[in-house]
Amino acid sequence: MSALTVGIIYKHRHKPARSEAIKLEGWFREKGINVFLEEMDAKEPLYECQEEASAIPKTVDWVVVLGGDGTLLGAARRVGRYGAPLLGVNLGGLGFLTGIPIDRLYPVIEMMIDGRLEVESRVMLETKVFRNDNEVCRFRVLNDVVINKRTLARIIDLEVTLNNEFLTTFRADGLIISTPTGSTAYNLSAGGPILYPTMETLILTPICPFTLTNRPIIIPDTSVVDIQMGKESEETVVLTFDGQVGFDLYFGDRVVICKSEEKIKLLKPPDHSHFKILRTKLMWGGATFNKHADH
């Protein structure tokens, strides 16, 4: 039987994360588990459409992520999309994706090794950009794909087609295409709905639409979203992946977005509650007035 292997990805230039990663590496090795350690890069390949490579093999049994939600998003694109379950550990406050506090790290790790953690699958998006009928970009994300301008002086026209059927032309500052996982990210700030993260849907949310009747739309995750600029923009339009990686768009480009065949697997302990995280992060209600508040 081959030895168990684990990857540890930790936040860049964050001394507590590095220190904890080295300590955890030694702990795993004492248990006979092979460890691959990787520090998240200082900069994502911004404005370069290339999926990040990782020093961690695709075949590891688990990946422990030490940092915040941004670190986990990067880890998902690098390694998680190959099927390795991710355990997100937050070194600061509570995160939507990194919901395990650092003081519970080792008890939860023990549960992970014993196979006592629930595995939750999350939908990813795959985006392709076609220029003169040639594919010039392909990228996968866990949270969202955003089309917007680098400046906010003018609106842009975005013609949207779903499964070859014309939907509408959004006249707005931009458009967010979000997974349920990403519903609590930029989508929420733009007035979009919060979805339970394992739902099989996608969200289209216009950013500051010119027409006030343009509202967020929830669509099946089987949909293929085709987007083109309706008018030539005088300013640079940018396609952004998970808020971390970008690609410049030009008039005539086609952006095609659909559910990726690959899914992300997140590990969570038995007492993990998505609704508790929502209450905490979004400061819903208070213990004095809410009879369901956590005591």
Residue where the block lists tokens 């040639």: 134
Q: Residues 245, 138: contact at Cβ < 8 Å?
A: no
Alpha carbon distance 295, 284 (integer Å): 15
Place of tokens 């779903």: 162
Low-confidence ranges of the chain (pLDDT < 50): 45, 287-295
Tell me the C-alpha distance between 212 and 224, whole Å: 25
* CATH number (domain holding residue 234): 2.60.200.30
DSSP assignment of 155-186 equals -EEEEEEETTEEEEEEEESEEEEE-SGGGGTH
> What whole-number distance in Å separates Cα of residue 153 and Cα of residue 147?
15
SS3 47: coil
Same-domain status, 133 and 246: yes
Strands 100-101 and 86-90 turn out to be parallel
189 and 256 part of one domain = yes
| In a domain? residue 293 | no
Q: Do 65 and 157 reside in the same domain of the chain?
A: no
Q: What is the pLDDT of residue 79?
A: 92
Q: Are residues 106 and 136 in the same domain?
A: no
Q: Does residue 287 lie in a domain region?
A: no
Buried b (16+ CB within 10 A) or exposed e, 10-26: bbbebeebbebbeebbe
248 and 131 share a domain? yes
If one counts every other C-beta atom within 10 angstroms of the C-beta of residue 256, the result is 17
Q: Say if CB 158 and CB 169 are below 8 A apart.
A: yes
Q: C-alpha distances in angstroms, 162 versus 140, 192, 219, 261?
A: 19, 19, 9, 18
Give phi and psi for 76, each to the nearest 5. -60, -45
The total of structural domains in the chain comes to: 2
Q: Is 183 domain-assigned?
A: yes
- 291 in any annotated domain: no
The pLDDT value recorded for residue 153 is 62
Kindly state whether residues 32 and 93 are assigned to the same domain: yes
The whole-number pLDDT of residue 233 equals: 75
Tell whether 128 and 255 lie within a shared domain. yes
In a domain, 129, yes or no: yes
Q: For residue 145, what are its two tokens? A: 């794909």
Give yes or no: residues 189 and 144 share one domain. yes
- Same-domain pairing of 103 and 137: no
Domain harbouring 53, CATH code: 3.40.50.10330
Specify the pLDDT at position 49: 73
69, 173, 226, 253: the active-site residue:
69
Q: What pLDDT is recorded for position 251?
A: 92
Q: Which pLDDT score, from 0 to 100, does residue 46 have?
A: 55
Question: Is residue 288 in some structural domain?
Answer: no
List the domain range (segments joined by +) for residue 145.
124-260
93/145 Cα distance (integer angstroms): 25
Q: Is 114 an annotated catalytic residue?
A: no
Same domain, 105 and 46: yes
What kind and span of H or E run contains 89?
Answer: strand 86-90
Task: List the one residue out of 175, 179, 176 whose CA is nearest residue 141.
Answer: 179
Residues 90 and 130 in one domain: no
Predicted confidence at residue 56, as pLDDT, reads 93
Claim to verify: residue 89 and residue 176 sit in the same structural domain = no
Q: In sequence order, what are the residues at sequence separation of 6 or more whose Cβ sits closer than 8 angstroms to the Cβ of residue 271?
A: none
pLDDT score for 212: 83
**Confidence at residue 41, expressed as pLDDT on a 0 to 100 scale:** 75
Per the domain annotation, does 54 fall within a domain? yes
Single pTM value for the model: 0.90
Structure tokens at 285: 């209600």
Domain membership flag for residue 30: yes
**Hey, what's the torsion of the CAs at 215, 216, 222, 226, to 10 degrees?**
70
